[in-house]
Structure 1
Amino acid sequence: MSHGSFYANAPRHLVAVDCIIFGFEDGKLKLLIIQRKVDPLEGAWSLVGGFVQEDESTDHAAIRVLRQTTGIRDIYMEQLRTYGDANRDTGARVISLAYYALIRISEHDRMLAQEHGAHWLNLHQIPGLIFDHNTMLNEALERLRDKAKFHPIGFELLPEKFSLPQLRNLYEEIYQRPLDKRNFRKKILAMDILEKLDEKDKSTSKKGAHLYRFDRKKYDALTQHGFVFEI
């Protein structure tokens, strides 16, 4: 059999990317989802996604989809895994590569998101999503929790300046449980990746809470080498 006939007789499948886009706002971990504008299931809630084009890699497809929906070019993202059940998509035989992304909500283009019918919802507000998208979300959350144990992730989700209560709140949202204030403060400061500023956040009390920012070099070093942050 020639190479040409070998490829010609092979089955043809569509390849898609689906993006689980997390953001953090008003003390809540949020997910960006859209209402589908096409059949099947027009009007149903979906993750942000699209098909991989002939001239692009799957990573570039995910970057394109993220940029088209949020307006942000430099986004932290990682491939989650491949979803390939034969009947996962009711429209056609589609193999999907899922990516999870972390963005600062304040930096995304709200008008652009609205044009795509995209909405930020708190995790407990997430409705039933199409196909296997709820499974993708749950597995992305598990990956995020594992990631948070061994690598810092706050830089991608928090504003440049933040308080320790805000940082703790982020981890509470990721783990979906309360954390001991003293223990968290002790462990996070021991990591030596925070720079204390001569500014305070007085939005929650008169005394206020000191603001911090990440030391980028130390943060990047921990991102590369990892640590154990059991909380």
Structure 2
Amino acid sequence: MTENVSGWTRDEMAARAAQELEDGFYVNLGIGIPTLVANHIPDGVDVTLQSENGMLGMGPFPYEGEENPDLINAGKQTITTLPKSSFFDSATSFAMIRGGHIDLSILGAMEVAENGDIANWMIPGKMVKGMGGAMDLVAGVKRCIALFDHTNKRGESKFLKACTLPLTGRNCIGMVITDLGVFTREGEQRRFRLKELAPGVTLDEVKTKTEADVIWD
């Protein structure tokens, strides 16, 4: 017997996030699910992908057997170049980010709070190699979208009243896209509002799995 499946897969989440790309945008894609967004750039939309390890104009992932170990993104995945690709040092890369020259960043998240806070760089007690570029991205990029599974492996909400993990940034997330739906921050109070339900997801289901105080109508 086939189990009924509701909500978006990770690839479908990335495809939905790709709908937020606009022609001419400079875009930074975070590690994890956001890297899949590169596979779903809409036809007719020309964006330039920036990687904080020092590359502008990333191409698609290589075919098997054509990987170049010297060409990687910030998540250490092998990538390809384009005719417009350029390489530079980390100081130049972060000057682009901190200078407000990147239009959109799509980031993974461990937790997002109802006030737009995000935690995505460490879990206390677990070894981390460093904070990476996320703290600069949420502070310097014009618009930030969080893309993540709505609940953790224990079924607990990751869309919370307040983050419990160390923060990456405060009041910086303007849109949340999960496997259950899309939420945008709107109005004078900048509260999240449910904009779209994923296929097969009911309003009651997403309410049950959301701790954050969200506008539902």
Instruction: Give the structure with higher Rg (CA).
Output: 1
TM-score (norm. length: structure 1): 0.27
Higher strand share: 1
Higher helix share: 1
TM-score (norm. length: structure 2): 0.28
